[in-house]
Chains A and B, each alone.
Chain A
Amino acid sequence: MNSRLRHAVAAALFGSLGLTTLVACGEDSGSSGGSGSKTVKLVSHDSFAASKAVLKEFTRQTGYKVQVLPGGDAGAAVNQAILSKSHPQGDVFFGVDNTLLSRALDNDLFTPYQAKGLDKVPAALQLDAAEHRVTPVDFGDICVNYDRKYFADKKLAPPKTLDDLTKPAYKNLLVTENAATSSPGLAFLLGTAARYGDDGWQGYWKKLRANGVEVVDGWEQAYYDRFSGSAGGAKGDRPLVVSYASSPPAEVVDAKPRPEQAPTGVATGTCFRQVEFAGLLKGASNTKGGKALLDFLLTKRFQEDVPLNMYVNPAREDAKLPELFAKYGVKIADSATLDPRKIAKNRDQWVKAWSSLVL
C-alpha cells in the first residue's frame, strides 16, 4: 500500500509539473500572442538577434511589441515563408539574402513598402530599388580567412586572391564547406562563378581540387574542427578556411585584454557579398505595425546594434561601426556580386555540377 501511495505521489508530481508548465507557457503566449494590433510578428532565421534595449526602444516609440518567430536556417526560413504564404506566420520577414531573393520575389511573398531611411542606404545594396518589395538591412562578406601564426611561422605571405589559392605554395591548406548544404559554401562557389564566369568557374575548381582543397559539410566543422586559426574547438590542420569577413573581430571580442591584432586575417580578394533584406509579408495581419518595424530596422539605433548581434555590417552608410569592428575588421572594397536572377536561374545546376566535380 505504501508503495502505491508513493506511486500516486509520483504521478501527481509529474502531472502537476506538466500542468504548471501548461499554465506558465499558456500565460506567456497569451500575453504576446493573438492578432492584436499591439504585436508585430517578425519571422526570421535562427541567427536573428537584437539587443533587448533596442527592441524596447521600438515598443516605446511605436507602442508595438515585437514577437520573433523561428524558421530554421536562412534557406529553410525563406522556404517556410513561401510554403505558408496563404496564411503568413507573421507580419515582417527578415533574413532573405541575395542568393535567395529571386525565389522569394518570384513567389510574390512581399507587399511593396518604401521604408524611411532608405535614402541613407547605398544604391549597390538596393537590389529591388524599382519596386521596394524588400528593404536591405545589412550585408556581410564571405571570404577566405587565414591563420596569421601559421603563415608567420612559415614565413609565407598569406593568399590574397582566388588565383593565389591554386598556387603550389598553398597546397593542401584550404578547407571549405559543401555548397549544397552550407550557406558560406554556396557563397564561395557563387564568388568563383562571379569571378570566372559561367564557363570558367569549373576550371578554377578543378585547379583548386588539384591543389588539395578539402570540403566538409558545414561551417562549424570547417571553422572549429579543421581550421587552425580558431581558438575554440580542436586544433585544426588547415590554416585557410572559407568563413566570414567578420570572423576575426569575433575571435577577439571576448579576449581580455584585447590583442593588437586578431589571430586570423581575411584574404580580401576572395570575397562574395551577401545582402540581407526584410519585407512586409503579403496577408500580414498587422500591416501598420509591420511598416513601423521596417522603418525601425533602418533607424540608426537598430543599424548600429546590428554588428555586435549578428556580425554583419549595417546597410546604412551613416551608421557608426563599433570599435571592435573598426579595429579588427576589414573593409572589403571589391567583393564579388551576382545578379539575384542569375543566381536563381543557375544555382541548382551549379551546385550539381560542383558536387560531381569536387566531391
Chain B
Amino acid sequence: MVLARPVKRRERPAAAPEAAKERPGRLRGAALRLALMAVPAAFFALFFVYPVAAIVTRGLRIDGQWRLGRIGDVLTDPAVLDILWFTGWQAAASTALTLAVALPGAYVFARFDFPGKRLLRAVVTVPFVLPTVVAGSAFLALLGHGGLLDSLWGVRLDTSVWAILLAHVFFNYAVVVRTVGGLWAQLDPRQEEAARVLGASRLAAWRRVTLPALAPAVAAAALMVFLFTFTSFGVIQILGGPRYATLEVAIYRETAQLLDLPTAAVLTLVQFAAVAAVLALHAWTVRRREGALKLVAPEQTARRPQGAAQWALLWGVLAVVALLILLPLAVLVERSLDAPGGYGLDYYRALQSVADSGGTYFVAPMDAVWNSLRYAAVATVFAVAVGGLAAAALTRKAGRLVRGFDALLMLPLGTSAVTVGFGFLIALDEPPLDLRASWILVPLAQALVGVPFVVRTMLPVLRAVDHRLREAAAVLGASPLRAWREVDLPLVARALGVAAGFAFAVSLGEFGATVFIARPDHPTLPVAVARFLGRAGQLNYGQAMALSTILMLVCAGSLLVLERIRTDRSGEF
C-alpha cells in the first residue's frame, strides 16, 4: 500500500483562494462523470430503452392514439392482481431464504482456507448458467415423484411453493457468495478484533463492525436475487406446475403466444414500476451506509478454521452446498452417462457425429460450445466496459440524475427476455441499425443482463475506496485518470474479476432472449440443449444432458481461469 503514507498538507495562506480553487475542481469532476456516463448511457439508450419503448408503444399506441385505458383494465383484473401478488411474495421469500442459506457460505468462502475452495466457488456458480429446463428437471429428480425425498421419506415437494423457493436458492446461491463474499474477504479482520479487544462480545463486534461494512454488499446481493426471482420464468413453470405464474410468465404468454401486445405492454410497465420501487428502496437503505472501508488483500484474511465452532460452520456450509447444489448437478452428470448399454460416454460421442449423420442441426453440437464461448467473451467485454464505466461514474455521491442512471442500469434484470428479444426485432430493423440478421445482437442482449452484475459488484468496492487516497494522489500531482489507475484499479481489481466472471456466466447461460436472436446455424449451448430436449428419444435426451454437463464444465472452467487472472494480480495490494 504505497499511497497510504500520510500526505503532508501544504500550508495555505488564506481561505479565499482555496475556495476559488475548489469550484473548477468540482466542475471538472462533473464533466468527468458525464464523460464516463456517455458510453453506458448511449449503450442503454440504444439497446435497451429504444427497443423496449418500441414494443411498449406498439402495444399502447394504436392507430396513432394512446390507449391508456388499457392500463386500468389490466390493473383491475383480479387474475393479474393474483399474479402480481404471487410474483412479489415468492421473490421476497426466495430472497430471504437465499440470504439465510448463503450468507454463512459467503463467510466461509471469504474467511476460511480449505482444500478445493477455489474449485467449489466455481462450482456453486454453475447453476447460474444452467438452462432452467435442465436444472428444473434435476430438481424434480430429487423432490418430485420417485425422487430422493420421496423414496426416503415419502415427501414430494414438486408443484409446491417449497420446490420453487429451494430452486431459487440453488440458482442464486452464488450471487450472495460472490457479491458478499467478495467484499467480506477484503474487510480487514483487525477492526473486528480491535472491537473485541476493547471488550465487545463476538456478536456485538460482528454486529457493530462487520455487518455495517457488509451492508451495501448484502443489499446489492439481495437486490439482484430479488430481481432474478421476481422475473423467474422456467423454475416457476417446471417446478410450480401450471398453477403458478409470475409476471414474467404472463408477459411471455401475452407476447409470444397470444400476441396481446396491449396487455403485455401494461404488464411490462407494471414490472418496471415494481422493479423501480425495489430499486428506490435499495438506494434508500444503502445510501446512508456506504462509506470508505479499509480493504486488504483477501489472502490476508482467510485462514484455516480454528476451534470446534468454526469447523462445524465449515462442515455445515459444505453439507448445504452438497445437498442443494452438488446433488442436483450430480443427477445431470449421472444422466448424461447413463447410456442404454450401461454407463459410458456414448452420448458425448454422439454429440460429435450428429453433424455428418442426419444433418438435423446445421452444426455439430460441439460447435455450440465455441459459439457460446465467443458470444460470452464478446458480451463480457461489452458488459465490463459499459458496467465498469458506469460504476466509475457512479462512485461519487451525486444528485438525482446519477441515481436515476443507476436504477436504469438495473432495469434489464427486471425486464422480460421476450420483451427485449421482440423489442430488438422491431426497433433495430432499419438502416443504419438493421441488426436483425447480425450475430452481434446475441452478445448485446447478453451484455444487457451482465451489466447490472458488473455495476453492483464493482460499486460497493469502488465506494469503499477511501477518497483520501485519491485526493492524496491528486495532491501529489496525478491526473484523475492516473489517480484512478493507480488507486482505484488495484483495489478493485478483484471486484473486476468477480464482475467479469458474473458477466461471463450470465452470458453463457442466457436463454430467454438468445433463443429469439441466435441464428440456428450458430446456436449457443443452452439453445442447443433446448433443441435436443424438444425431441423424443433416448439419444436426444442423453445428448441434452451431455451438453448440459459440458455447459457446466465450460462455466466452471472459465470461472477458474478468471479467478486465476484475479489472484495473480493480488500482489498489488
Chain B residues with Cβ below 8 Å from A103 are: 259
Q: CB distance B144 to A225 under 8 Å? A: yes
Chain B interface SS verdict (over half): helix
A14, CB-defined interface residue at 8 Å:
yes
A107 closest partner in B (C-beta): B259
Taking A25-B374, A79-B256, A234-B137 as contacts, is the C-beta distance between A70 and B517 under 8 angstroms?
yes
Q: Within 8 Å CB of B146, what residues of A?
A: 234-235, 237
Chain A, Cβ-Cβ closest to B384: A14
> Are A51 and B536 within 8 A (Cβ)?
no
Please, which residues of chain B bring their CB within 8 A of the CB of A226?
145
The smallest beta-carbon distance between A284 and chain B, in angstroms, is 14
> For B253, what are the chain A residues with a Cβ–Cβ distance below 8 Å?
180-181
Tell me if A231 is interfacial: C-beta within 8 Å of chain B: yes
- In the complex, the answer to whether B133 meets A18 with C-beta atoms within 8 Å is no
User: Are B533 and A4 closer than 8 Å at their CB atoms?
Assistant: no
9-residue interface stretch from B270-278, B404-412, B518-526: B518-526
B421 CB within 8 Å of chain A: yes
Q: Is there contact, CB below 8 Å, between B568 and A6?
A: yes
A181 B374 Cβ-Cβ under 8 A: no
Point out which of A50, A53, A76 has the most chain B C-beta atoms below 10 A from its C-beta.
Answer: A76
- A17 close to B377 (CB less than 8 A): yes
Is the pair B429, A72 in contact by a Cβ cutoff of 8 Å?
no
Query: In this assembly, does A119 line the interface, its C-beta being within 8 Å of a C-beta of chain B?
Result: no
With A24-B374, A70-B520 known to touch, is A217 a contact of B537 (CB < 8 Å)?
no
Residues of B within 8 A of A (CB-CB), count: 76
Asked if B310 is at the interface of the complex by the 8 Å CB criterion, the answer is no
Report whether B242 and A180 are in contact in the complex, using a CB–CB cutoff of 8 Å: yes
A87, B429: Cβ atoms under 8 Å? yes
Q: B359 near A72 (CB under 8 angstroms)? A: no
A29 close to B438 (CB less than 8 A): yes
Asked whether any CB of chain B lies closer than 8 Å to the CB of A82, the reply is: yes
The answer to whether A79 touches B255 (Cβ under 8 A) is yes
Q: Does A128 contact B (CB under 8 A)?
A: no
Residue of B nearest to A53 (CB): B359
Shortest CB–CB separation between residue A75 and chain B, in angstroms? 5
Per-residue 0/1 for B412-448: is the Cβ within 8 Å of any A Cβ (1 yes, 0 no)?
0000001001100110011000101111100000000
Bitwise interface map of B from 138 to 153 toward A, beta carbon under 8 Å scored 1, else 0: 0011001110000000
Segment from B2-10, B218-226, B317-325, B538-546 that makes contact with A: B538-546
Inside 8 A of B571's CB, which chain A residues have their CB?
2-3
Partner of A49, one of B137, B256, B361, B422: B361
Query: Does A68 lie at the interface of the complex (its beta carbon under 8 Å from any beta carbon of B)?
Result: yes
Contact A67 B437 (CB under 8 A): yes
A20 smallest CB distance to B (angstroms): 8
A86 to chain B: closest CB distance in Å?
8
B238 within 8 A of A: yes
Q: Are A308 and B422 in contact (CB under 8 A)?
A: no
Residue of A nearest to B540 (CB): A232
In the complex, identify which listed stretch (A161-169, A188-196, A249-257, A271-279) lies at the interface while the others stay far away: A249-257
Question: In the docked arrangement, what's the CA distance between A301 and B429, Å?
Answer: 34
Q: Mark B42-65 against chain A: 1 for CB-CB distance below 8 A, else 0.
A: 000000000000010010000000
- Residues of B contacting A251 with CB < 8 Å? 536-538
- Closest partner residue, chain A, to B443 (CB atom): A21
A71 and B437 in contact (CB under 8 A), knowing A3-B568, A51-B359?
no
The residues of A that contact B493 with a CB separation of less than 8 Å are 7
- Chain A residues with Cβ under 8 A from B517's Cβ? 70
Within 8 A of A (CB), among B331-369: 335, 340, 350, 355, 358-362
**Cβ contact within 8 Å between B258 and A231:** no
| Interface membership of chain A positions 197-218, coded 1 if the CB is closer than 8 angstroms to chain B and 0 otherwise | 0000000000000000001111
User: Is the C-beta of B237 less than 8 angstroms from some C-beta in chain A?
Assistant: yes
Asked, given contacts A28-B439, A181-B237, whether A234 binds B516 with beta carbons under 8 Å apart, the answer is no
Are B429 and A52 in touch, CB under 8 angstroms?
A: no
* C-alpha spacing A133/B340, complex, angstroms: 46
Q: Report the separation of the CA atoms of residues A25 and B374 in the bound assembly, to the nearest whole angstrom.
A: 9
Q: Is the CB of B541 within 8 A of A233?
A: yes
| Segment of A40-48, A135-143, A147-155, A291-299 in the binding face | A40-48
**Contact residues in B for A247 (Cβ distance below 8 Å):** 536
In angstroms, Cα B380 to Cα A90, docked, is 30
Q: Are A237 and B145 in contact (CB under 8 A)?
A: yes
- Seen from chain A, the residues whose Cβ lies within 8 Å of a Cβ on chain B are 2-4, 6-7, 10, 14-15, 17-18, 21-22, 24-25, 28-29, 33, 41, 44, 46-54, 67-73, 75-76, 79-80, 82-84, 87, 89, 103, 178, 180-181, 215-221, 223-226, 230-237, 243-244, 246-247, 250-251, 253-255, 308-309, 311, 348, 355, 359
Given contacts A70-B517, A83-B422, A230-B541, 20 further A-B contacts (CB under 8 A): A4-B572, A10-B565, A14-B377, A25-B374, A29-B439, A49-B359, A70-B515, A70-B516, A72-B515, A87-B429, A87-B434, A180-B242, A181-B257, A224-B137, A224-B533, A231-B541, A232-B541, A237-B145, A237-B146, A309-B358
Which residues from chain B sit less than 8 Å from chain A, CB to CB? 55, 58, 133, 136-137, 140-141, 144-146, 237-238, 241-243, 249, 253, 255-259, 335, 340, 350, 355, 358-362, 374-375, 377-378, 380-381, 418, 421-422, 425-426, 429-430, 434, 436-440, 493, 515-521, 527, 530-531, 533-542, 565, 568-569, 571-572
22 pairs from A and B in contact (CB 8 Å cutoff): A7-B569, A25-B374, A25-B440, A41-B437, A51-B358, A52-B359, A68-B519, A69-B437, A69-B519, A70-B515, A76-B256, A84-B436, A87-B429, A87-B434, A89-B437, A103-B259, A180-B257, A217-B242, A221-B140, A231-B537, A251-B537, A311-B536
3 closest Cβ pairs, A-B complex = A232-B541, A231-B538, A51-B359
